[in-house]
Chain A
Amino acid sequence: GAGVSQTPSNKVTEKGKYVELRCDPISGHTALYWYRQSLGQGPEFLIYFQGTGAADDSGLPNDRFFAVRPEGSVSTLKIQRTERGDSAVYLCASSPGGLTGELFFGEGSRLTVL
């Protein structure tokens, strides 16, 4: 497809489990972002990749969260020992390079931790 693709669209897991969320950005976009949107809030920045490297991971809430983008395209957000407070919609976005204009968002992965 032409847009940003995120899988799974919905994930329900139990407290303490490990979760992986995948993002396939628009082809050719070098910049990739993860945001998290909690109920009633706007998206909050988690991490920014330029190519393969994480240029800014200052938004990751703690060391249970980690993201990779090994080949500069697909990215995976990994959450260890999930907690109920991790429940949110995780949004991935890409852009051609840096932020000269808008971000292109995927539909998000809704994570529910029971």
Chain B
Amino acid sequence: DQQVKQNSPSLSVQEGRISILNCDYTNSMFDYFLWYKKYPAEGPTFLISISSIKDKNEDGRFTVFLNKSAKHLSLHIVPSQPGDSAVYFCAAKEDDYKLSFGAGTTVTVRA
């Protein structure tokens, strides 16, 4: 049973505009959330995270928002750049070590 869901398999955005990626989860015991970025033929790399006690975390062009009551988080990338074209995975932590991943959203930034 998929506990972390990314319902949009793909997103296309123009360079310079905002990219918004969404993620929903079902397990209320998740206490830490992460976004990973993956280029073809490479392993996922950590992008940004947020603890369940916060509702926002910002790192440069990347901001993650968490709405615990809705069990929803989102990643905002602004402004989007061509190098941001990749697959983005939402992940949630349980049991202090195990990550549950969503299926990923492929972002394409158009020049």
Tell me the A residues contacting B by CB distance below 8 Å.
4, 31, 33, 35, 40-45, 48, 50, 55-56, 91, 93, 98-99, 101-108
Among the stretches B12-20, B44-52, B66-74, the one at the interface with A is B44-52
Q: Which of B41, B43, B44, B99 has the most CB of A within 10 A?
A: B43
Question: Quick check: B97 and A31 within 8 Å, CB to CB?
Answer: yes
A103 to B43: give the CA distance in the assembly, Å: 11
* B97 in complex: contacting residue of A4, A35, A55, CB < 8 Å: A55
Q: Are B98 and A40 in contact (CB under 8 A)?
A: no
Whether A105 contacts B99 by the Cβ 8 Å rule is no
Interface centre among B4, B32, B49, B101 (most CB of A within 10 A): B101
Q: How large is the interface on B (under 10, 10 to 19, 20 to 34, 35 or more residues)?
A: 20 to 34
- Residue of A42, A101, A108 near B89 (CB, 8 A) is A42
> Judging by beta carbons under 8 Å apart, are B49 and A43 in contact?
no
Q: Which residues of A contact B104 (CB under 8 A)?
A: 41-42
Shortest distance from the beta carbon of B22 to any chain A beta carbon, whole Å = 14
In the bound complex, residues from chain B placing their C-beta under 8 Å from that of A35 are 101
Tell me if A99 and B97 are in contact (CB < 8 A). Answer: yes
Expressed in whole angstroms, the minimum distance between the Cβ of B71 and any Cβ of chain A is: 17
**Does B96 sit at the interface, judged by CB under 8 A?**
yes
Interfacial chain B residues near A101, Cβ < 8 Å: 46, 49
List 24 A-B residue pairs with CB atoms under 8 Å apart, sorted by A's residue number: A4-B43, A33-B97, A40-B9, A40-B103, A41-B104, A43-B44, A43-B89, A43-B101, A44-B101, A50-B97, A56-B95, A56-B97, A91-B44, A98-B96, A99-B32, A99-B98, A101-B46, A101-B49, A102-B36, A102-B46, A102-B49, A105-B44, A107-B41, A107-B43
